[in-house]
Structures are given as structure tokens and as C-alpha cells.
Chain A
Amino acid sequence: MTEQPHLDGEALAELQDVMEDEFDVLMRTFLYDSRERIASLKQAVSEQDAEALAHAAHSFKGSCINIGAPLLGELCRTAENAGKEQRLEKVPAIIDAIEKEFRNVADLLEKLMVR
């Protein structure tokens, strides 16, 4: 898990190429989206809704994979599996890890946009 990089440079380069002018829009969309997803994850845990947790984690995972944030995506998968398996006791720790990793990714992406 720890071997995964924060960002997949190759994937991001391709995205930049494809999105052209809309790359910044995409980055902002992802950052906004992600904050919403993290809020949904937290809400699901507080409501002990394992299914909602799995759903939110699954969607978040998809976006992470698409955007080129493999480590964050891997953490989301762990949360999704925990939701599917109805094991919510470890989830708060996973969400902490997700938030921490998201801050890393966000910092890196902000730098990418400023460039």
C-alpha cells in the first residue's frame, strides 16, 4: 500500500494533454468533489450505514483512479471493502488516512495548477 505514489505523473500528463484548457477546471472539480466524498464517508460512519459507506468509497475510488491519485484510490478501496464486509470499527482510522492523503494530493495538485 505504501509503495503507491501520491500522484501518477504519467496519467496526469496525459490528462493535461487531453483536457487542455479544461485541466484546471478538472482539478478544481476533483478537489471539490473529494471534499464532498470525505464528508459523505464521515456521515456514513456516524450513521453506521455500511452500504452508504461502500457506495461513497467506491465512487471516490473511481475518481481517484481517473485523476491519477493511486494511493488515495487504494485507501478508498480499503474503505469500500470494509463497508461491504460490514466492519465499520476500523473505518474511522481509514478515513483519517484518506483525509491525510487527500491533503498531500491537494497540495501537489495546487502546485501543478499554479505552474
Chain B
Amino acid sequence: MEESVAEPKSLTILIADDSDTDRLILAVLVRRLGHRVFEAKNGQEAVQLFQHCEPDIVLLDALMPVMDGMEAARQIKILAGERMVPLIFLTSLSEAEELAKCLDAGGDDFLTKPYNRVILEAKINAFNRMRLMHQALSSQRDLIRERNEQLVTEQEIAKRVFDNVAHTGCLDAFNIRHHASPLALFNGDVLFAAPFPAGGMLVFIGDFTGHGLPAAIGAMPLAEIFYGMVSKGFKGADVLREFNQKLKKILPPGMFCCGGMIETEFKHNQLQVWNGGLPDGWLVRTSGELEVVPSRHLPLGILPSDQFDDGMDTLATEPGDRLLMLTDGFLESRNAEGQLFGDSGIRRALESRAGTQHPFDAVMEAVGHFSASAADTDDLTMCSVEMVDEVGISTIHDRIEPSPLPGPMEWHCEYEIRERTLGDFSPLPLLLHICMEVPGLRRKSGEIYTLLAELYSNALEHGVLELPSHWKQSADGFDQYYEERRRRLSRVEGHFIRFSLSHSMTPSGGRLRIVCEDSGSGFDFHNHPILESELRPGRAGRYAGRGLLLLKRLAESVTFHQQGNQVEIIFDWEVAGTSSNPASSHRQ
């Protein structure tokens, strides 16, 4: 008598009425319609039964002992939560006010006595349709919410992977200021910075077309290329060429990356800048003077390699000068009136700033005051690089993980570059790369790069090209030097520079022997005036004092052979932990 056999489309219906007569009639009517019935004699029973039988529809008498229908309705609606359970009041009430109270308590409709089976059926069906529609909407909403959560989770994972690949390099260096939203990756913005092995640093700010995952996808290979190449000593132009080639290959048509490359040479007090499609960069001199660094190139990923121009503009600077580069999110910021911030907004911010205010802060502040909503700044990426004294920057390190492999310990190689290639190609990244195969040398990449670079530039400029180094000491001579260098590089027939690298194990670590020989005529190292007492067997000749001192400081020994066109350098390293002061281990 309690339940009829449930049919496929049958609903579960809870009937609560204290009148046995009325409940019996209704229960029979509902069962005859093919539904399953649960019966309660008062409001409290109804609430308990509701939790237990999870009915699809509740038919509820308004006036009942123990707990009346109104209170039961309120409790049932709370229990149902987001589930829509139509609640129909059974009533012989006829006063409008009483009926309204039923609806206020959460009722959806009335069924008046005497019961009419046609009306009852129509109401049950109507409410069932509403219930199903609500269910469909809820499950779609849940699905959307679930998908969205999934998307956010995936983005977070992608971001973590990306952060592991890209890390922040040396963006936290004291001479760099930057702003990027935590999810800038999915706005298509990227910002990388890394120190060169031999001083100076490279910074890249990029803005991919589009948003979301498609915009983020190109960032990953760029990060790999950037950090990989910079740590091997490649320069900005090399990295740009590689970027362009990679993006051209992987990005679909119509997608590209606007970018800015900043290469600082603290030693020479100059900046090399390349701007392809980004808004104007701004060089803010210590005097407050502004210099615009406009885009002179197409964005990355558009031109084929043979048409790509990696030429960077050189800006002479002084310590304290700052270069600001930013993505177009800044220019596109709008105020409440819908006006654009634009280049003029940046210029105003930079020109009107107080003397002590950092240009970076001035622009951030101005755009913050300008834009209508704070959310706007989520889409902005900006960085500022300050020129500093070379000495001050030497503490910046990249985060290179030591390899767990022992690597090659006993090896020898020779590498010779000849003739035209002397002018076209730098062998330094390759040579550094070979040395970096030895894990113990990896911590010394900066020193080794410096040694190789010093040897190579001496062999090339003074050995092969026979340029006198004193020219570089005056401003006029500097230009003359480089003009002459360019001219002589076109006449290097028969010339070569040969590197011989040997590595062997020592009880406490390893020893790297670098011999650099050139085809030049050499110099009289036996009678060189500088450091006469220290060098053996010879002393520096064509070496400027500074270069020789550097070699001497970094290496175990520096020896000249033959007629001065062969230099031998011994570099020792120790296994980390065997010395209490690893930094000085090779100079003991």
C-alpha cells in the first residue's frame, strides 16, 4: 500500500497530509498516474521522509499538527539546496492572504480540494518539465564550471612547467624593474633576463598575438632558446635570429611575437636595442633627457630567415641611464571617458616625474591613475633596465642546475677557424659549450668565457689584424679602431686562429689547458714593459695591460710561446666542497 511498482518514467512524490481521508485519495490518484508515493502525517514526518526518499515533487497540506506545512516547506527548500523540488500546497484555503503565505514559505503552486485528477496530472507534468529543465541547466552550468576549473588547473600546471623552463633568470637583479601579471603568460606576454657568462646582460620582452593557451605556447621554446643561448655566450642578435626562425616555423600564419631585445654592455657603457613591433622604448638619461627607441623591425615569426634583420641599434650610455620597454597594453589602457593612454601618456608621465622618482614608477603610477579599472593592469608588461658599473653587477648569477652526470674528464680538441670566417663567426659559444660538458667547469662558465673571449679578441684584433690597442684609448681612436677593424677583416686570406683545449683529471678536480695560436707575427714578449717581474717566460706585449691582468687573475698560469703568437693558459678547478673557499680554489 505504501508504494506501487516504479515505472521507468515514474516520479517519486511525497504527500504530507494529516487527514487520512484526503491523503488516501491523493495517494491513490498519484499512484494511478504511475508514480511512486511516500506518505507523511505531519510536517516533521515530511521533512524526515524528504531526506530519506529524495522525492521529485512534494505535495504538502498547509495546516498540520506537530509541524505545519509552511515550516516544512521552508526546511525542505533548505534541504533541497540547488536541486529544484517543486512544492505544491494542498489546500482548501480560499483567502488570498493565506495562499500568499504558502508561496512565501517556498511553495510553487496550490492544489485545491476537492482534488481533480485531470488538474493534478497536468500540474505534476508541468512541474516535472520545469524540474527537468532546471536539472539540465544545472548540469550544464556544473559542466561549464568543471571545464573552467579544469582549464584554470591546466593553466596553472602549464604555468608551473613554463616557470621551470623560463624561470625568472636575473629579473630580480637590482638594476632591473619589471611589472608582469602572474598570468602574463596567458596574455601572451613574456619577459626574460639573463647575465652573459662574461658580464653584461640580455633582456627580452615579448608580446604574442592573441590570448590564452595559443599565445602561451610560443613562449616555451623562446625561453629555452633564450636561456640556453645566453648561458653559452651568444649575443642578442644571435638569439633574435634563432627566435625568428623558431617562431616562423612553429606559429600558424597570422600569429607572431612583438618583441624587444636589450643587451647591456656595462664594460663599454653601451646598450644594444632591437625593437620589432613593440611600442616605443624610452631611454631615460640621468639628466632626465628622453630618447625614443622606436620599432624598426617587423615582429618575430613573420620574415623568413634570409630576410630577417637582427641588427641592433647601439646607444652610448652612462651609469644611471635607464631603458624602458613595454607592451601595448599600456598604450591601450583607457580611462573612464574611453580615451587611450597612448604614447603621449607615457611621455607625460616621464616628463612630469619628480627628479628622484624612478621612471618605471612614474609610468606605473600614471597608468594606474589613468585607467578606469584596476583589472586593466593585468594586461601590462613593462621592464626597465638600468646601466650600472660593471663591478656592481658581478654578483648576478643565473640559476644553472648542476648535471648529475660525471661528464667527460679526459679529452682534447682542436678547433681552427680560417679566413673569412674570422670576421663572420664567433667560435666562443661552441668552445664554451665543449667546456661546459664538464660538470665541474659549469660553475666557472663566466671565467672560462672571459678567458676564451680575451684570448680570441687578442688573437684576432692584435695578432691577425695587428690593430694597435692604444687607439682605443681616445674617442677618435675608438672610431678609427673599429673602422680599421672592419676594413682589415676583409683581408684575412691565409690567416687562422687555432684553439687547442685539453682537459684532464687532478686529485682534487680537473685541469683545463687552453692554447690559442694565431697566424699573426707575434710580439716581443721577452721585453714587454708591463708586469715584467711577474710573467714567465715572457711578458705581455700586444696585450693591453688590462687584458693580461684579467687572464693572470683568472688562470693558474699564463705562458707565451714561439714568437708571441701562442698563449697557453692553465685553469684548475676543484670538486665543490673539497675547498672551504671554492671561489679561490684555482688561484691557490
Which A residues are closer than 8 A to B by beta carbons? 11, 15, 18-19, 22, 25-26, 29-30, 32-33, 55, 58-59, 61-63, 65-68
Contact stretch, chosen from B3-11, B111-119, B440-448: B111-119
Note all chain B residues with C-beta closer than 8 A to A15: 25
A-B contact pairs, 26 of them (CB 8 A): A11-B114, A15-B25, A18-B25, A18-B29, A18-B117, A22-B24, A22-B28, A25-B24, A29-B20, A30-B21, A33-B19, A33-B20, A33-B21, A58-B92, A59-B63, A62-B19, A62-B61, A62-B91, A62-B92, A62-B113, A63-B19, A66-B22, A66-B25, A66-B113, A66-B114, A68-B114
The answer, among B18, B25, B114, for a CB contact under 8 Å with A19, is B25
For chain A, what secondary structure do more than half of its interface residues adopt (helix, strand, loop), or is it mixed? helix
Interface contact A66-B63, CB-CB below 8 Å: no
A42 → chain B closest CB, angstroms:
17
Interface centre among B21, B24, B29, B91 (most CB of A within 10 A): B21
A72 → chain B closest CB, angstroms:
12
A102 → chain B closest CB, angstroms:
13
A69 → chain B closest CB, angstroms:
10
Note all chain A residues with C-beta closer than 8 A to B553: none
The CA-CA distance from A66 to B117 in the complex, in Å, is 12
B32 at the interface (CB under 8 A from A): yes
Which B residues are closer than 8 A to A by beta carbons? 18-22, 24-25, 28-29, 32, 61, 63, 65, 91-92, 113-115, 117
Note all chain B residues with C-beta closer than 8 A to A55: 63, 65
The answer, among A11, A26, A65, for a CB contact under 8 Å with B24, is A26
A12 → chain B closest CB, angstroms:
11
The CA-CA distance from A62 to B113 in the complex, in Å, is 6
Note all chain B residues with C-beta closer than 8 A to A59: 18-19, 63
The CA-CA distance from A32 to B113 in the complex, in Å, is 20
B89 → chain A closest CB, angstroms:
12
Note all chain B residues with C-beta closer than 8 A to A30: 21
Given A26-B21, A30-B21, also A58-B28 (CB < 8 A): no
Nearest 9 Cβ contacts at the A-B interface: A63-B21, A62-B92, A30-B21, A65-B113, A66-B114, A62-B113, A33-B21, A65-B114, A29-B20
Interface contact A66-B115, CB-CB below 8 Å: yes
The CA-CA distance from A19 to B32 in the complex, in Å, is 9
Note all chain B residues with C-beta closer than 8 A to A26: 21, 24-25, 28
A17's nearest neighbour on chain B, judged by CB, is B117
Note all chain A residues with C-beta closer than 8 A to B32: 18
A77 → chain B closest CB, angstroms:
9
Note all chain B residues with C-beta closer than 8 A to A67: 21, 25
The CA-CA distance from A22 to B113 in the complex, in Å, is 19
The CA-CA distance from A30 to B395 in the complex, in Å, is 97
The answer, among B22, B65, B91, for a CB contact under 8 Å with A63, is B22
B25's nearest neighbour on chain A, judged by CB, is A66
Interface contact B92-A65, CB-CB below 8 Å: yes
Note all chain A residues with C-beta closer than 8 A to B21: 26, 29-30, 33, 63, 66-67
The answer, among A22, A32, A61, A68, for a CB contact under 8 Å with B92, is A61
The CA-CA distance from A11 to B19 in the complex, in Å, is 19
The CA-CA distance from A58 to B18 in the complex, in Å, is 12
Note all chain A residues with C-beta closer than 8 A to B18: 59
Note all chain A residues with C-beta closer than 8 A to B25: 15, 18-19, 26, 66-67
Note all chain A residues with C-beta closer than 8 A to B22: 62-63, 66
Interface centre among B29, B92, B115 (most CB of A within 10 A): B92
The CA-CA distance from A68 to B22 in the complex, in Å, is 12
Note all chain B residues with C-beta closer than 8 A to A63: 19, 21-22
Note all chain B residues with C-beta closer than 8 A to A66: 21-22, 25, 113-115
Note all chain A residues with C-beta closer than 8 A to B92: 58, 61-62, 65
A73's nearest neighbour on chain B, judged by CB, is B92
The CA-CA distance from A19 to B117 in the complex, in Å, is 12
A26-B21, A29-B21, A59-B19 known; 4 new pairs, CB 8 Å cut-off, are A15-B25, A26-B28, A55-B63, A58-B92
